[in-house]
A = this chain, B = another copy of it.
């Protein structure tokens, strides 16, 4: 599996209909179109998929719909992190049964002061022991829980743990994770540092902007890997402004607005998230139109 965790993966958003219910047809339509590009696969049920706001039945329906349109040649990653170990294991089993190739598991974070190294190692080991699908760790320091090098090194030795997604602009830690070995793939989740992350040994990225501009994101990856540094840096600088708007600046609402502008299905977010304002939408439209295609 490790060999296939390479390249660019969009974390697909969850479309909702006018009644606020999950719209699996819109999701499948987005993914179908994305799968005609050079993307290596997709992540369903990630943070950008508003996974925290979905119930278990909705999660399963979304994953099944995505599975139906991701070809076997591409990788389907499913977000299955939950707050308790037992519900995480349950989510991993269901995701594998539906056909996920890999599960991406964030650390529990509600009891963050109790998430010691021992607690985190215990949690991920239990999950990896029980999950039928290989496990990818998810480092998201913004939650208040950070996976450190000693924890990740210990976990990387588990035969069912295949890699890590690092969602931060901090590259010292990513560089240390990337050095663990060939059998442990590191993907960045922070598009504005895709190029330097690849320079540090990352194998690719799971990037919101890849939903909106899949071709350009893949091209940046290809240039970087091929050593065409001037072209890669120019593309990185071109993508960074819109990448920021659809992630750290406006979040999922910004991503959905950009999708609408780019001809995909974006649509509303689920409360408590709020849609972008008109001014924010204009900001996104202007930034998007400034990117050379």
Contact = CB atoms under 8 A, between A and B. Distances in A.
Interface of A: 20, 47, 52-55, 83-87, 107-108, 110-116, 118-120, 122-123, 126, 142-144, 169-173, 175-176, 179, 190, 192-193, 195-197, 199-201, 227, 229, 233, 236-237, 240, 248, 251-253, 270-274
Nearest to A271: B85
A172 B193 contact: yes
Contacts of A123: 271-272
Given A52-B108, A53-B87, A169-B171, 12 more contacts: A52-B83, A53-B83, A54-B84, A107-B272, A111-B252, A111-B273, A113-B248, A195-B200, A196-B199, A196-B200, A199-B199, A227-B227
Contacts of A274: 114, 116, 118-119, 122
A163 B49 CA distance: 33
A274 B53 CA distance: 27
11 contacts: A47-B111, A55-B87, A85-B272, A107-B272, A118-B274, A120-B272, A172-B192, A175-B236, A200-B236, A227-B227, A227-B229
Contacts of A53: 83-84, 86-87
10 closest Cβ pairs, A-B complex:
A196-B196, A53-B84, A85-B271, A123-B272, A169-B172, A52-B110, A199-B199, A52-B83, A172-B192, A114-B251
Contacts of A111: 47, 52, 251-252, 272-273
A227 B226 CA distance: 11
B118 A84 contact: no
A126 B144 CA distance: 28
B190 A47 contact: no
A273 B112 CA distance: 10
Q: Output the residue of A107, A126, A172, A195 with the most chain B CB within 10 A.
A: A172
Contacts of A143: 110, 144
A233 B200 contact: yes
A79 to B, nearest CB: 12
A273 B110 CA distance: 11
Contacts of A170: 169-171
Nearest to A228: B227
Contacts of A229: 199, 227
Nearest to A241: B176
